[in-house]
Amino acid sequence: MSEIVWLMDVDQVLNCWEYPDPLIHSDFKTFESGNGYMINYSPSLLKRITDLHDDGVVTVKWLTTWQSLANTHLRETFGFKEDLEVEGGDCEMDYWTWWKFPIARDAIERYERVIWTDDDIVNSSKAVDYVNSVDDKKLIAIATYPCLTHEEMDTIESWINNE
């Protein structure tokens, strides 16, 4: 496993819920997942991510409400060659509290370096306070909306390369 773990959400990170705006990505593709959800994604963005994963630069792990269904319904189309680990495993999701934050916090403390992309980071004051308390050499957290952009990927790649 790479020394860098990428905690990857799906919706509003890889899947752009908003109308696929060509100003965000010029290459949006849409497909209906096996469980009936419409997925709007950028193949060129996913290629950048999967190349980093395949080359061992990062280890992408799902941290998404899709949980292991991301492997079943999205992984192949997104270009990942094998199933990705679900950080925290498939678990009960408590919608009254943000169930992903404790999982992310534990992972950030356990792994050497972490990339965390999730649209909801800014919606949790506890998550924002925690992210701001972690050394920026250890963690880069990007709250995406309406999805991860190439500019944000440039920022992530610069962080990976300690630039």
pLDDT in tens, 74-93: 999 999 999 999 999 988 88
pTM value is: 0.95
| Nearest residue to 60 via CA among 77, 41, 75 | 75
The full set of domains in the chain, from first to last, is 4-160 (3.40.50)
pLDDT in tens, 102-116: 999 999 999 999 999
CA distance 139 to 4: 9
How many whole angstroms from its chain centre is CA 50?
12
77 with 39: CB under 8 angstroms?
A: yes
pLDDT in tens, 31-54: 999 889 999 999 999 999 999 999
Above 70 in pLDDT, residue 19?
no
Residue 34 confidence (pLDDT): 87
CA distance 63 to 138: 18
Residue 65 confidence (pLDDT): 94
